[in-house]
Structure 1
Amino acid sequence: MTTSTAGTSALFRLRTPVLGALLLSSGWTPWPTAWLVPLLLIAWVPYLVLERKLTLEGARKGRVFASTYLMLVLWNALTTWWVSYAQLAAGIAAVVLNALLMCLPLMAFRQTKKRLGNRWGYLSLPIYWIAFEQLHLHWDLTWPWLTLGNGFAAAPGWVQWYEYTGFLGGSVWVWVVNLLLFQFLLHWQHLKAQQPDNSLAVSHFQVGNRFRWAYWAWLAILAPTALSLAIGKNYQEKGATTEVIVVQPNLDPYVEKFEGGPQFVPYDEQLTRLMNLSEQKMTPETKLILWPETALEETYWENTMESHPKIRRVRAWLARHPGVALLTGITTVNSYPSQEAASATARHRDDVGYYDIFNAAAYFADASAPVAIYHKSRLVPGVEKIPPILSSVLKNIDLGGFVGSYGSQAERTVYAAPANAPALRVAPIICYESIYGDFVGEYAHNGATLLGLVTNDAWWHDSPGYRQLLSYGQLRCIETRRDLARSANTGFTGFINQKGEITQRETAWVPTASRATVHLNTETTFYVRFGELIGRGAQIAAVLLLVVAIVVGWRRKQPAV
């Protein structure tokens, strides 16, 4: 295939990464909309064109890296700039470091293409990228906000097949279509180069041969879309029904929510607001109420919780409403008898000993049942968890709320059903945890029939952050085929059904509550049963490809015998 190797202009090297970043941002617009999401299916083509052109010119590695990094840092900045609302330095660090990490699979692709040729090189690209996305779900620096499959959150009707593949299936879709369109573009350019004086005097065979990539690209676009529409059209909500209330107290975390704020609302008044908003929506059919993340914010020692005045007040309130269970966000503390018994995240004070602080959820099945505690497990790096590798850098960064390492737990707790609603087994999901498809799927695998999300979106002010987080909940509903009840301190409070459709959404930034009848599905999807097959498979394939590429490169450097 003949291609011009004339030097790439500086304008082209600048314009192409900017175009790529704008197209990649289409799945994370400030106000999520399905109309722009299809641009993800062409978003990587500018990068592929630029990378190939620079490679054919023999451009230095640093030049290729600079163009690649420019596109990725712009993509991160355009989509996650709102992190800087809480702390400017942290927002900049998130953009710069995440873009740098994203360069790793693209650099691995270039080295594989160099050693194994174009065919294996382009095949390796989606494998390396998805292997990286899988890694980004589980390591200490986890930040999977821009996982490509999450980009379809604004268009849940197009990805109903996530119940089989999970959101990494969307990442595969993006790469397959982009690579097919890129191949079509290359062959189209080759076809034009063969035409004398740009005439149209080419054979039908040539045209058909060149356009086979277009046929495959259209098939790759239309087949998953048609499958999704068919699944969505035929899917019916499953399970018994029950009535649930979600509450939004609307307390500004910078001003009102926490002690020391300039307009701090006393904790007794905060609790009164939660109770009053709940009662405004309560009916004799209500079985469950959700209060948001850190709704009970005072420090509650777990071993003496029952003696706390607020807990006694909650129990007295529940006694006035028999048959109602309560799931609420809470901050708890647990002490350890010795250093040997303490967890890795435990801290020490002379007057207390070893202890952990937890961003937690508490479940009251009724007025007298023992309180069940869940400790948030997927913690925000730099805010709730400081990875050891970055502890010296991040320990002084303020992203909102407590800074340091919270305690956590390994297993997914599913709360036992109350006596009057035997099908109601709620999964306590706290804010950031709803980004993780496999993590939320573990709740359904453990028997959850309803996803209960408690969050405090107001850390990010009125920004795309809380809108995108709401959309991610739609994907989790499709993957698990569970309804989701969402209680935000402020942001968006409401309900999402098993098809990922938002059925109720209350206005942000006002005290309110919402009531709905939800379905309690007991069936498990393929994705829930088997988890991230795509991600794990990509990681295995990535390791094998890297080993082969390294061995081939090493053998080529060996002198001939």
Structure 2
Amino acid sequence: MQGGGDGTDSPAPKLGVAAGRVKSSPAQTGHAARSVRWASRCWLLDNRHRSPIFRANRPSLPLRRVMPAVPTPRLLWSLSLASGVLLGWSYPPGPGSALAAVAWIPLLWVWSRTTSVRRMLLHAWAAWLATYAVAFAWPLAHVRADTAWLSLNGLLLLPLVLGLPPALAVAVRRARGEAVGLAALAAFQLGAEALLSLGPLAFPWSLLGHTQAASPWVAPLAALAGVPGLTLWLLALNIAGYRALTAATRRGRWRSAAAMLAVAGAGLATAASLRTALPPPRATVPVGFVQPAIPAAAWARVRDTTRAATLLAMSDSLARTAPQRPALMVWPETALPVLDSTAAARRLLRRLQAWVDSTRIPLLTGAITVAPEAPHLYRNSALLLQPGRSVQQHDKIRLVPLAEYVPFSEGRPGLQRLAIPAGGVRGYAPGRRQAPLHLERDAAPPLRLGVFICLESLFGNYARRYHEQEADVLITLAQVGWWGPTAGHRQHLAFTRLRAIETGRAMLVVTVSGRSALIRPDGRSVVEVGWMERTARLVSVPVYDAAPPYARYGGAVHPLVLIAALAALGLIRRRTPRPTT
């Protein structure tokens, strides 16, 4: 109703309808159009609780002064890239892991303003490309140019895979609303990270939870639910922070802010309790290790036996000068040249076995062995030589896709020719069996050694399986010097630190050029050797019997995450209204 000039109510005219045969003037037509727009806005305000258009485009009250109601494409792209840069800075060795708790808030605001799945995929892809440019561009510094160019494909494709969760969540939000869309976004992100940890194309380097690997205040949370638990905690913080800035009511904003503080406080308190709950070790074992600091270009000469002679001389010097005899000597990944049927390979093995027999010190060393079922293929192996005993062997199972191994090449030798020579060898065959190596000791029970070779130490399920097999100590043999003094070797050590936390076992990391370290189950480094520091050291490795929750129940994490992601996919279908009678 519209008030008349005499103060009485008079019926509102019907807008846009010509009266009789009177022809409307341009001024009258413009006035009618403006009246229609005004009436539409009034209807939206009166029916905003039922209007998905208004809910999707309403201005955020706290951000009304800084964010426009209709954002420009430049603003959306800028916010997407800002999220990527903040997230890249949160990965080791970035300036602060705490940035990951808020890094996704700009991207979530873009997500809330985007209605196209394809456009959101592009925004999320751009965000992850920025993350990779900041934190994971180091593979381009490989000593081999062909391997560096191959890495560029992964640097472009992996961000696309990680961009799928926000894009799919847009479809859920359009069908079910923002709250359900945010829950689906978390499920999709966890599902994508689970897929990056499973199958022949697995490469779990850029998981969101890895941002906390170097944080002594948050990393112990991995003992509770592994890296998926860290990812879920960060997603909860980002979603709560986004809601604290964009909720439509003051009460909603305060509730979201309180939820963010509660989630942060609960996570930090739990991590502190897990860090201080570490029981004392039941024993300590003296172990020697050698970091030869040999340049990557020289290490790539896989038939050169001089590096084995260098390692043997450094080990012999340590054995003569150490205050006590080591119970084990450890050499890094691919320390021995190609061990085929040649006379030189047989002489080298006899020489190493003679040293082990004379010093009574077992030797665990990386080696390149020939796959018996395919003579044209090699295996990246770890050999355990002991006095008077047969050699035990662990073959690397988790190979780097398209570098060490071409997926789906079993039975198709032609595909394996596509592999780029990694470390001087074109193509490895994956190992088939994971089991601890048994180290016999004089007047002491044998030790079960859970051995990882380089990339294998990034797989939480792989480490958890060693815990199920009652491994006493975890040892990682690695060569991360192919990329020079970049962030690669620092990230590998930080991510490997999580395996010690998840399993409750000490982890000894031995590399060619650095960084080698001894890590306790609470994530702290007892010993750490710097980049290109040539040394042979004796360390006391503690033996623990702890059983963290993730080590006991972590096998259910990935299946539950994948089920949640599939359930979220089912929410994309728009609900049909119930028929009214």
TM-score, with structure 2 as normaliser = 0.82
Partner of 1:38 in structure 2?
98
Partner of 2:25 in structure 1?
none
Q: Describe the SS at the equivalent of 1:335.
A: coil
- Aligned partner (choices 331, 342, 350) of residue 368 of structure 2: 331
Partner of 2:4 in structure 1?
none
Superposed displacement of residue 403, structure 1:
3.1
Amino acid at match of 2:213: A
- Aligned partner (choices 441, 444, 463) of residue 418 of structure 1: 441
Instruction: Number of aligned residue pairs: give it.
Output: 511
- Aligned partner (choices 222, 233, 245) of residue 162 of structure 1: 222
Partner of 2:407 in structure 1?
387
Superposed displacement of residue 394, structure 1:
8.6
Partner of 2:282 in structure 1?
239
Query: How many percent of aligned residue pairs carry the same amino acid?
Result: 23
Cα distance change of structure 1 residues 8 and 286 upon mapping to structure 2, 3 Å threshold: same
Cα distance change of structure 1 residues 50 and 307 upon mapping to structure 2, 3 Å threshold: closer
Distance across 1 between alignment mates of 2:430 and 2:562: 29
Distance across 1 between alignment mates of 2:302 and 2:325: 36
| Correspondence 1:77-476 to 2 at 5 A | 77-86=133-142, 87-187=147-247, 190-191=248-249, 207-259=250-302, 266-267=306-307, 269-276=309-316, 278-279=318-319, 282-300=322-340, 308-322=346-360, 324-336=361-373, 346=374, 354=375, 356-364=377-385, 366-388=386-408, 395=418, 397-398=420-421, 400-422=423-445, 424-476=447-499
Amino acid at match of 1:247: V
Deviation digits for residues 395-440 of structure 1, max 9, x if unmatched?
1545543232423123333434434441522111111111111111
Amino acid at match of 2:357: A
Cα distance change of structure 1 residues 473 and 307 upon mapping to structure 2, 3 Å threshold: closer
Partner of 2:26 in structure 1?
none
Deviation digits for residues 330-387 of structure 1, max 9, x if unmatched?
1111323xxxxxxxxx4xxxxxxx56411000012x2211000000111111111111
- Judge which range, 523-532 or 109-118, deviates more: 523-532
Cα distance change of structure 1 residues 32 and 481 upon mapping to structure 2, 3 Å threshold: farther
Runs of 5+ unmatched residues, structure 2: 1-54, 61-67
Contact 1:160 1:231 in 2 (8 A): yes
Superposed displacement of residue 115, structure 1:
1.9
Distance across 2 between alignment mates of 1:21 and 1:334: 42
Amino acid at match of 1:290: V
Superposed displacement of residue 244, structure 1:
0.9
Distance across 2 between alignment mates of 1:277 and 1:42: 51
Superposed displacement of residue 6, structure 1:
4.3
Deviation digits for residues 173-208 of structure 1, max 9, x if unmatched?
011111111111112xx35xxxxxxxxxxxxxxx45
Superposed displacement of residue 27, structure 1:
2.9
Contact 2:165 2:189 in 1 (8 A): yes
State the structure with bigger RCO (CA 8 A, min sep 6), 1 or 2.
1
Partner of 2:503 in structure 1?
480
Distance across 1 between alignment mates of 2:362 and 2:308: 21
Amino acid at match of 2:327: K
Distance across 2 between alignment mates of 1:305 and 1:446: 37
Deviation digits for residues 206-256 of structure 1, max 9, x if unmatched?
x45530111111010111101211221342332211111111112222135
Contact 1:246 1:494 in 2 (8 A): no
What RMSD in Å do the two structures reach over aligned CA positions?
2.8
Superposed displacement of residue 488, structure 1:
0.8
Partner of 1:343 in structure 2?
none
Amino acid at match of 2:227: F
Q: Describe the SS at the equivalent of 1:410.
A: coil
Amino acid at match of 2:351: R
Cα distance change of structure 1 residues 281 and 331 upon mapping to structure 2, 3 Å threshold: farther
Q: Describe the SS at the equivalent of 2:334.
A: strand
Superposed displacement of residue 481, structure 1:
1.1
- Judge which range, 171-180 or 80-89, deviates more: 80-89
Moved over 4 A (4+): 304-307, 389-394, 558-561
Cα distance change of structure 1 residues 306 and 167 upon mapping to structure 2, 3 Å threshold: farther
Contact 2:89 2:135 in 1 (8 A): no
Contact 1:245 1:515 in 2 (8 A): yes
Q: Describe the SS at the equivalent of 2:400.
A: coil
Question: Is 1:22 aligned to residue 60 of structure 2?
Answer: no
Amino acid at match of 1:298: V
Q: Describe the SS at the equivalent of 2:455.
A: helix
Partner of 2:71 in structure 1?
8
Contact 1:156 1:474 in 2 (8 A): no
Cα distance change of structure 1 residues 157 and 414 upon mapping to structure 2, 3 Å threshold: farther
Runs of 5+ unmatched residues, structure 1: 192-206, 337-345, 347-353
Contact 1:166 1:532 in 2 (8 A): no
- Judge which range, 392-401 or 72-81, deviates more: 392-401
Contact 2:516 2:528 in 1 (8 A): yes
Amino acid at match of 2:552: R
Distance across 1 between alignment mates of 2:167 and 2:313: 53
Distance across 1 between alignment mates of 2:377 and 2:445: 33
Deviation digits for residues 108-150 of structure 1, max 9, x if unmatched?
2112222222222111111111111111111222111011111
- Judge which range, 402-411 or 533-542, deviates more: 402-411
Distance across 2 between alignment mates of 1:510 and 1:180: 45
Deviation digits for residues 17-70 of structure 1, max 9, x if unmatched?
2210122113324x356xx11111111111100111233xxxx44433322211
Amino acid at match of 1:150: H
